[in-house]
Structures are given as structure tokens and as C-alpha cells.
Amino acid sequence: MIHGIGKPERSLASWWLGLEARWIPASAWGRGLLHFWRERILLAISLVAVVVGFFALIPSVALAIKEDLWAVAALDALAYLGLLVVMGVRRSTFEVKAWSVCLILYALGLGLSLFLGLVGASYLWLFAFSVVAGLLIGMTAGIVSLGLNAGTLALVAVLIRQDLLPWARLLENPLEKWVVLGASFLLINAIVTISIVLLLRGLEEALERERAVGRDLVREREQLVAVNRRMMVEVGERIEAEQARWRSEQRYHDLFDSISDLVYTQDLEGRFLSVNRAMVDSFGYSREEFIGRPGSDFMRPGSAEAFRTGYLEVLQRDGKVEGVATHLTKHGDPRLIEFRSNLVRNADGGAHISGSARDVTERHNNEKKMMALQRQLQQAQKMEAVGTLAGGIAHDFNNILAVITGFSELALDEARAGKASPHNIQQVLSAADRAKKLIQQILTFSRKAHFEPRPLDLHQVIGEAVAIIERTIPKMIAVEVRLGQGLGLINGDPTQIEQILLNLASNAKDAMPEGGKLVIETRIIRLDQELAQLDQNVPPGDYALLTVSDTGQGMDQETMKHIFEPFYTTKQVGQGTGLGLATIYGIVKRHGGFISCQSEPGQGTTFGIHLPLLAADGAELTDEAPVHAQPPRGVETVLLVDDEEALREVGREVLEGQGYQVATAATGEEALAIYRQRGIRFDLVILDVSMPGMGGHKCLQELLKYDPGVKVVIATGYSPYSQQAEAAAAGAAGWPVSCAR
């Protein structure tokens, strides 16, 4: 069967090769590989057009005659006969055949445009005309054909406007439709034609360069052979010595140029003596452009002094220098180069600089991207943890609102009866303070933040995290905290430590659907040298061991092997991303610690997080509460700007109670009108950021334009980083910590 299938393939290939031999002249190879392929493409186009066109010609002519379109039928027939003539005349040059095919395509496009218009396929023939012209003949032909296409479309548009085309009278708005079609067609036609022409030109140039290199290699080889022959005739022994030396130098140069790192030598003034091919390829300069120029010429302008003091003088003093510096390519692109240079003493008493370098730009960019992805991953996990615990947050917040509503109604009833109950008001304020703290904790946890380690009391962070956990997990899960004595301080980021605890609490909640116990425990553990190198390859010393245990379902050994892998999860689709433990692992590693896990099916899970403790002489924290002095009363004038009427009223009463004179505004526009009306007589402006209309950011800019010395306090209940940046750009001297209003 295989043999039977192979015969037609061999016959078809033989037939095609024979057709090429008859059609394509032998001189085609002499004009280059690209021209030979153009001959083949022209042959293929003509052959397909003859065969397929015959089957398309019959129904097309029949339909045209039926519709009484004798001109269209004649055009189709003449085009097909013209193609047969082109195929039959073998002695014609390639250019004549190519132009003949292109003109046949253009004639079809022009004729169909005039007789059939939008209902015909004229634009397809015109499109093929310019593409084939650019493909077979070149850039000039492609551009000329695009111009002819544009002129043809313009001609048809003029004829439509003059109402000289019968088919246009059958259409509604034929001119507008033709213009839209023509513009889109010309855009696509130009893109495709020019792209093909440029591609072919690039291939032609590449082939020419390859031929030039081949000719140079042949010429150089012939010259070397001639020299070697003369030397062999003159002195045999000298020939052997010279050949050996040449081979040695060639191996050195090959090795020098084959090294992927950037390798160079310089004189004591920093001027390049030699560079390898990697230097040429990386910076775009030729070897000749490197030689004799100091390294500072390839750095940012004004780097000459730093190059002398930080590079040449250090080399003279220490004999070596290494570091990272920014260099510029020939096109001005900055590249981050990691280098190492050494001072080499020559046998004749002189010296030069020998060095190697590596382009670390991509690595540096990838590291920045990786850090950005890690920050996004951590933020996503924080929000996933908050989302998982959102039910508990809503339950606790509803309880707080119930307390506020209940005691407010009692206080209102007593006020109507002419009574006053400080107890009820105090209960409302206490509940509101609980709500403010809850919202502040959620905002603090969910805020995007960089890794900012500082001396940290781990127990204080645990207390703040447990306050969120107890409000958010089901009540049938008991939370037990066991804090060790004398734990000391760690160097950590409190937001990321909280993220660890909330993520683990979220996992524990899912593992205990029927309830259970969540235990958070701390103690000091000492890791000796042997255990550190054997188990975790971390520095020995004292560690704070944070243990989070649950009495849930547990995990088998196969699951345990994958728990820290990103996107690995045992939860149902839509219930988790599989990034939580991977994020925790990254946070712990960033803190210089390590994490372990113990679990068995039905026996619960225990995570052990080891964080290095600070030395005893490190920074200390104080638990002493600050002493708040009685605030002084004021007499200044304040402009309070907020879109919430209740907040304006409360703020006005509080400030007036402290002796201040207060004017209020609901929008930025109103604030500007009041400020300009009263002149520069406000001692302070308290400005909300998020307001309707122009908003606080634009209002701040306008205030600074009117009065550059205005004093403004930015006030908002939630301060995204984008608003911080906008306020700073507008001229704010600083940005306070966001607080609930």
C-alpha cells in the first residue's frame, strides 16, 4: 500500500520538475536564488489561474450573458485568453510575463469596478494586482500598483458622483459606501503589499550579504593559500613554525570571540585595546569604534570623572575592581553591565587592564518583574483571606450597628422626654469606636505595601490579628492563644505577619466545617549549627517559633509534598486559588526564616514558622502609652470642606467648641468661591479628597495657584496610594496615616 501511494507522488514531482524545466529558463539561477523563486511563484500562479480559472470562467460568463452583461463576459474571456497566451509564449522575459499577469488582474479589477461595482469582486482583483506586482517585480511595481488602485477607486467615485454607472443607481448612498470600502481596501492593500515587498527586499539583502561573505572568504582563502605556498617554497622549517604560530593565534582568537561574556583589555587610561565579538554584538559598535576610546565614552554623558576616580584610581590602588555600571549601546539604549577588571603586569615592566563583564539588564528587569508579581501575589492572597472571612466581618459589624442603633434610639427617646443619659451616649461611642477599629484593621491588612521590616513585637501583631480572626471565623471554632515568655523582638513587617496568620486561619476554618479549635502559640527555639545545615540550610541561632494548629481534617503525605507549590489546591473550583501557602512560604523566606508542616488525616494540621530573633542589644519597643496633653484652644479661622453634611456639622461644632471660627463648603467649587470672596484670611483649610465635582485634588491645585502659602490638611477616610501621589504632585508637604473620619 505504501508503495502504491508513493508512485503518484513521484510522478507528480517529476511532472512538476519537468514543467519548471520547460517554463523557467536556465539563466534564472544566474540572477540569484530570490529571482529563481519569483520565477517559480509566477509559474505556480499562472498554472493555478489556468486550471481553476477554466472552471470559474464557464459559470461566470454564463451568468453575465444571462444578466445581459456582455461586457463582463467579454472581459472574463479576454482575461483568460490573455493568461493562456502568457503561458504559451516561452521565450518572453520574466518581466514581460509578470507585468502581463499583473495587468490582467488589474483589467479584471477595473472592468468589474465599472460594470458591477460593490456587488462584484473587483476589489479582490485589484488587491491581488498590487500584491502580485510587489511580490514578482519589486518595490517600485508595488508602489505603482497601489497608485493605480487608488486612481481606479477615485475614478469610480467620480463616475458614481456623475451618475454614470448604472449599478450605483440601485444602491442607497453608493458614493459613501464606495468611499468607505475604498479607504479600508487601500489601507489593507498598502499594508500587505509593502510588508511583502519589504520582506523580499530584506531576503534579497541577506542573500547578497551572504554571497559577499562567501566571496570574501574564498578570496581570503586563496590569498592565504598563495602565501603559504610561497613560504613553503622558501623555507620549510619556517613554514612549520609560522603555521604553528598561526594555528595558536587562531585558536586564541576563536576562543576570545566564542566567549559569551564581554571580554576586553584596556590601557592604564581606560582606552580599549581589544574587545571580543560579544562586545560588538551587545553594544552595536564595531571593533574599530571601540579601539582607542576610553570606557567613559560608552557611558552616560558626564561620567568621565566617575570613571577616573571610581574605576582607574581603584585599579591602580587595589589591582582590581568590580561592580555594576550603566553603559549605552550605539542606539542610546541603557544596558546594565556587571564587570570585573584586573591590573595585569607585563613582562617588560608595563601594565594593562584585563576584564570581563556580563549584560545583566534582562536579569535585573526580570527580578523587578518578579518582585512586582510577588507583591501582586501577596495582595491577592490578602484580599482572598479577607474575602474568605467576610461573612464573619459582616456578622460582627451588624452586631456593632445593632448596638449603635439601639442605644441611639434610647438616647433619642430620653432627649424627647427632656432627660439626658450619658450612659446611652457612651455605649454608642464605644460601639462606634469598635467599628472604627474593625474597619481600620481591614484597611491596614488589605492595603498594598512594600516589604518594610522593623524591630517588631510578635505578640502585639498576634493580638491584632487574633482580634480580626475571632470576629471572622465561625463561633463554633475556639481560638486559643498561648504566648511564650521573654520572646524578644524580630525584624519583620507587621502587615505580612498578619497575612500569614489570617491565611492560616482561613485554611483552618475550611478544614473544620463542624467546628474545632485553633491554637496560636509562640516560644523560643535554638537552632544549632548541625541542625541548621542538615535540615533547612539557614543560619543557626535563636528563633521565634510561631505555631498555628487546628483540629481539622488533616492531610495525607501525598498532599503534604505539594502544599507550598503555587496554584496547588485541594479545594473545589472557585473556592481557592492555591496561592495561600505559596505566599506564606515566600513571606517567611523574605524574613530570613523557614516554615514546616505536620499533618495526618483526621489528626489536624500544625504549621511551625521559625523567625530569627534580634540580638539582645537590638532596637527595643516601648509599651508605655503616650501622655496626651489637653489640646490648646484656638482663635484662628478654619475652612472645612466635605461633601457629607453630617460630617461638616460635627466638624464645625467640635472646632467652634475649641474656640475656632469655622466656615464650611460642600464642594471644591464652593470652597474656592468662599476663599476668594474672603481673601487670604483663612489660617487653615481642612479638605476632603473624595468629593463630587472637581474633587479635593483639583481644589488643592487651585488653592495653591491662588495662594501658594495656604495651609491645607488633607482629610479622608480611605487613602489609596494613587491619591497620595496626586496630593504630593499638587504640592502637599506630606501625607498622614489614613484614619476613619
The closest alpha carbon to 591, from 454, 691, 468, 711, belongs to 454
Given this model, what pLDDT does residue 422 score? 76
Given this model, what pLDDT does residue 152 score? 80
Which of the pair, 420 or 516, is modelled with greater confidence?
A: 516
- Tell me the average pLDDT across 206-217: 76
Given this model, what pLDDT does residue 548 score? 93
Given this model, what pLDDT does residue 4 score? 46
Cβ atoms of residues 690 and 738 within 8 Å:
no
Counting residues of the chain whose pLDDT is more than 70, the rounded percentage is 69
Given this model, what pLDDT does residue 481 score? 92
Given this model, what pLDDT does residue 740 score? 35
Given this model, what pLDDT does residue 736 score? 46
| Per-residue confidence band for 5, with pLDDT thresholds at 50, 70 and 90 | very low
| Per-residue confidence band for 577, with pLDDT thresholds at 50, 70 and 90 | very low
**533 pLDDT exceeds 70?**
no
What's the pLDDT tens digit per position in 464-479? 888 888 877 888 889 9
Which of the pair, 578 or 133, is modelled with greater confidence?
A: 133
Interatomic CA distance for residues 693 and 703, integer angstroms: 15
**462 pLDDT exceeds 80?**
yes
**27 pLDDT exceeds 70?**
no
Q: List the chain domain ranges.
A: 15-205, 259-359, 373-612, 637-730
Q: How far is CA 246 from the centre of its chain?
A: 50
Q: Do domains 259-359 and 637-730 have the same CATH topology?
A: no
**56 pLDDT exceeds 70?**
no
Counting residues of the chain whose pLDDT is more than 90, the rounded percentage is 6
- Tell me the average pLDDT across 131-158: 79
Given this model, what pLDDT does residue 103 score? 77
Given this model, what pLDDT does residue 719 score? 47
Given this model, what pLDDT does residue 550 score? 92
Given this model, what pLDDT does residue 519 score? 94
> Residue 712 pairs with which residues in a beta bridge?
685
- Tell me the average pLDDT across 371-379: 70
Given this model, what pLDDT does residue 31 score? 65
Given this model, what pLDDT does residue 545 score? 92
- Tell me the average pLDDT across 395-405: 68
Q: E strands within 284-330?
A: 320-328
| Coil vs helix vs strand at 360 | coil
- State whether CATH 3.30.565.10 applies to domain 373-612: yes
**521 pLDDT exceeds 50?**
yes
Mean pLDDT (the chain, rounded): 75
Alpha helices in 235-321 (DSSP H): 236-258, 277-283, 287-290, 304-307, 313-318
**251 pLDDT exceeds 50?**
yes
Which of the pair, 503 or 8, is modelled with greater confidence?
A: 503
Given this model, what pLDDT does residue 664 score? 92
Interatomic CA distance for residues 21 and 36, integer angstroms: 12
What's the pLDDT tens digit per position in 403-458? 777 777 777 777 777 776 677 677 777 667 666 655 655 554 555 445 678 898 98
Cβ atoms of residues 81 and 87 within 8 Å:
no
Given this model, what pLDDT does residue 216 score? 81
Cβ atoms of residues 87 and 50 within 8 Å:
yes
What's the pLDDT tens digit per position in 688-722? 887 888 888 888 888 888 888 888 988 775 544 44
| Per-residue confidence band for 53, with pLDDT thresholds at 50, 70 and 90 | low
What is the CATH number assigned to the segment(s) 637-730? 3.40.50.2300
Cβ atoms of residues 640 and 648 within 8 Å:
yes
**547 pLDDT exceeds 90?**
yes
- Tell me the average pLDDT across 226-240: 75
What's the pLDDT tens digit per position in 277-335? 888 888 889 888 889 999 888 888 878 888 888 888 888 888 889 888 888 888 888 88
**486 pLDDT exceeds 50?**
yes
259-359 belongs to which CATH class? alpha beta
**Ramachandran category for residue 448: left, alpha or beta (phi over 0 → left; psi -120 to 50 → alpha):** beta
- Tell me the average pLDDT across 367-384: 70
**557 pLDDT exceeds 60?**
yes
Which H, E and C letters describe 57-85, residue by residue? HHHHHHHHHHCCCHHHHHHHHHHHHHHHH
| Per-residue confidence band for 633, with pLDDT thresholds at 50, 70 and 90 | confident
Q: List, in order, residues 6 or more apart from 48 with CB less than 8 Å away.
A: none
Interatomic CA distance for residues 431 and 503, integer angstroms: 27
Among 118-122, 241-245, 298-302, the range of highest mean pLDDT:
298-302
Cβ atoms of residues 516 and 480 within 8 Å:
no
- Tell me the average pLDDT across 340-357: 86
Check: pTM over 0.85? Answer yes or no: no
Cell 475649641 identifies what position?
658
Cβ atoms of residues 487 and 522 within 8 Å:
yes
| Per-residue confidence band for 729, with pLDDT thresholds at 50, 70 and 90 | very low
Interatomic CA distance for residues 567 and 271, integer angstroms: 53
- Tell me the average pLDDT across 88-104: 73
